[in-house]
């Protein structure tokens, strides 16, 4: 996995990111050009056209991230419209791109941990990047960020130097709101927050452009945010536990209809809930990371298990797992299926 350290203004951060990952970013555009057309029959020029409808809202509420996208475009040699389309890929296809994932968090008096498996098309594993982001000293200060994402995207799953972590599950439900945050912009704004409360408030006030589940966690616990194009609903921990897969767990506004695009989402939710309920507070110096990692390795229901495997017609697989120790402000990333990991990265954004 390509690892990139970026420092400077938003444009400079994007420029460095784009230049270092240019080949991978072009590969991401090629992948989504083909995938979106197969899924929705939209050609890439139409995808870019739709993405541009979101631009006025973003220029108003996240102008620094638009500057970063301009830098990514310049550095990679990929047109700005295509970079914007990558970062609004979920919205422009109205929820058709359904990353299948399992997310969970566990908290006791002594530990606070959270993590996920990120499942997606195997081809994109080669285009994952690990970004370390640090704002320039003379720009408005934000926490340092370490985040795993697809090349060309602003964010996905990661942690910042304030100990705030974010994780994502796709949910399929038709509808898009061009006056709300695209999913990957929302993930990045969470990572620019100083605590869970601020992150949740940002997403609640600006809304989410299409159906998605975002988990926000810090040392105080975790909140699940189920978003649709019409509403955002907050779910809190019960007995220090919370988990989510790829379907709505609660009722939403009239007109929001969730679909179980992954038939196994219910089974994975039942399984992760059972495993979490059985989890015990760790003893001694154990930070609790091992509890989450062990659950993410679970193979019950293979190949469409928590630890997912692409077999036969099934092309989605766990491409990486990430588990955060929220008290320490650190995280561990394992590339590939966690039981067959292809590399380990230890994230310490406070030390960037």
3-state SS, residue 218: strand
For residue 40, count other CB atoms closer than 10 A to its CB.
15
Residue 99: the pLDDT is 61
Per residue in 301-310, pLDDT tens? 999 999 999 9
In sequence order, the 6+-apart residues with CB closer than 8 A to the CB of 211 are 95, 170, 171, 172, 173, 175, 227, 228, 229, 248, 256, 258
Cβ burial, residue 77 (10 Å; 0-12/13-18/19+): exposed
In sequence order, the 6+-apart residues with CB closer than 8 A to the CB of 59 are 66
- Report the first-to-last Cα separation within the chain, whole angstroms: 19
Domains of the chain and any CATH numbers: 2-351 (3.60.60.10)
For residue 285, count other CB atoms closer than 10 A to its CB.
5
CA-based radius of gyration for the chain: 18
Residue 340: the pLDDT is 93
Nearest CA to 118 out of 295, 335, 299 is that of: 335
User: ∠216-327-4 over CA atoms, to 5°?
Assistant: 70
Sign, CA torsion 159/234/267/98:
negative
Specify whether the CB–CB gap between 247 and 235 falls below 8 A: no
As given in the structure block, the two tokens for residue 170 are 């796709």
For residue 109, count other CB atoms closer than 10 A to its CB.
7
Provide, for the chain, the percentages of residues in helix, strand and coil under a 3-state DSSP scheme, each rounded to the nearest 5.
35, 30, 35
Residues of the chain with pLDDT under 70: 93-99, 260-261
Residue 98: the pLDDT is 53
């Amino acid at each position: 996995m390509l690892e990139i350290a970026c420092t400077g203004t938003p444009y400079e951060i994007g420029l460095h990111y784009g230049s270092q990952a240019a080949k991978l970013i072009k590969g991401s555009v090629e992948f989504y050009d083909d995938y979106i057309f197969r899924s929705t029959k939209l050609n890439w020029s139409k995808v870019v056209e739709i993405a541009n409808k979101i631009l006025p809202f973003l220029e108003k509420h996240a102008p620094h991230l638009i500057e970063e996208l301009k830098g990514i475009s310049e550095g990679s040699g990929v047109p700005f419209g295509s970079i914007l389309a990558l970062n609004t890929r979920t919205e422009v296809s109205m929820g058709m791109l359904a990353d299948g994932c399992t997310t969970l968090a566990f908290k006791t008096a002594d530990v606070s941990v959270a993590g996920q498996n990120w499942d997606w098309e195997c081809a994109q594993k080669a285009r994952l990047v690990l970004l370390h982001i640090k704002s320039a000293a003379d720009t408005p200060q934000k926490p340092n960020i370490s985040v795993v994402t697809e090349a060309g995207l602003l964010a996905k799953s990661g942690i910042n130097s304030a100990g705030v972590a974010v994780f994502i599950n796709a949910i399929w439900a038709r509808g898009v709101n061009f006056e709300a945050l695209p999913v990957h912009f929302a993930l990045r704004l969470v990572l620019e927050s100083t605590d869970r409360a601020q992150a949740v408030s940002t997403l609640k006030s600006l809304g989410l452009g299409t159906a998605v589940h975002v988990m926000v966690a810090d040392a105080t616990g975790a909140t699940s945010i189920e978003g649709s194009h019409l509403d955002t609903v907050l779910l809190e921990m019960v007995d220090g536990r919370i988990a989510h897969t790829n379907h709505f767990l609660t009722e939403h506004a009239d007109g929001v209809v969730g679909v179980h695009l992954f038939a196994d989402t219910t089974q994975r939710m039942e399984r992760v809930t059972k495993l979490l309920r059985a989890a015990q507070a760790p003893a001694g110096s154990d930070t609790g990371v091992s509890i989450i990692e062990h659950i993410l390795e679970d193979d019950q229901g293979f190949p469409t298990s928590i630890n997912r495997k692409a077999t036969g017609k099934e092309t989605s697989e766990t491409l990486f797992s990430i588990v955060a120790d929220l008290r320490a402000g650190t995280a561990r990333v394992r590339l590939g299926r966690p039981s067959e990991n292809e590399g380990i990265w230890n994230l310490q954004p406070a030390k960037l």
